[in-house]
Amino acid sequence: MQTRLLAYGCSNTFGEGLDDIWHHDPNHKFGFNKGEPSRYAWPRELAKLMHFDTVLNLAEGGASNKKIWLNILQTPMDPIKDTVVVQWTFFDRYTIFYEDGSNERFLPNDIENREGKMRMSKGIALQKIKDEKRNRTKDWYGDYHSDADAMLDSYCKISHIKYHLDAKGVRNFHFINDKRWNWNTAPEWVDSKVCKCLLFKKEHGIALDGMHPGRKAHKKYAQAIYEHMRSS
């Protein structure tokens, strides 16, 4: 029987900034990733440790927990061969879905207006796009965001996925790389054992983009997940 690891998350699962996918453009302050997830990211390292036959890294850079939740629900799974590992992301990210199938993301760091992170659009200057997006993001976090509401929504998404996959008979494990989470203070209806807070360690190095975890950090993270899965 062929076994398969399905991994979900944001850029910290995708492997953003790792040397096999990172392209540095000398004409810009920031580089950019090539299309495929890194083979040095923790999902592939974990697959080696656990002896999975195949691994699907279904992470998306900048994904919110809502987007991760939807990606999981939309993936066909086989309870006999599949194991799901989710690295949930920062609770204060948002994704708004529209009727035409498009979506818009709001991330706190978009307010910083970092060069190279905004897409070009035909007939509109890049700076204008960046300014418009920054202003929309400022409005969102200034007028609508609430930490309490965002965290409650993430509790709901994580709990739902846990129960959904359990009901389908799919093995699933959940982690989060955000030290602001405290499962001990979660609402009574939340099972605090569902999701383990597991942080990347800065002393293990950073990637070429200067922001995300480096190869050694991903390897150590995979080892920590492996040890948790073995003891579960």
When mean pLDDT is compared across 14-18, 129-133, 213-217, the lowest value belongs to 129-133
pLDDT at 41: 97
> Is pLDDT above 90 for 114?
no
Higher pLDDT, 121 or 170: 170
Higher pLDDT, 138 or 113: 138
Q: Which alpha helices (DSSP H) does 88-146 contain, by range?
A: 126-143
The CATH architecture annotation of domain 4-92+146-231 reads 3-Layer(aba) Sandwich (3.40)
> Is pLDDT above 60 for 73?
yes
Give the span between the Cα atoms of 33 and 10, in whole angstroms: 13
When mean pLDDT is compared across 44-53, 106-115, 148-157, the lowest value belongs to 106-115
Torsion angle in degrees (nearest 10) through CA of 147, 198, 218, 44 = -100
Domain layout of the chain by residue ranges: 4-92+146-231
Give the span between the Cα atoms of 211 and 114, in whole angstroms: 12
Asked if 84 and 13 count as a contact pair (C-beta separation under 8 A), the reply is no
Label residue 158 exposed, middle or buried (CB < 10 Å: 0-12, 13-18, 19+).
Answer: buried
pLDDT at 34: 63
What is the tens place of the pLDDT at every residue in 56-68? 999 999 999 999 9
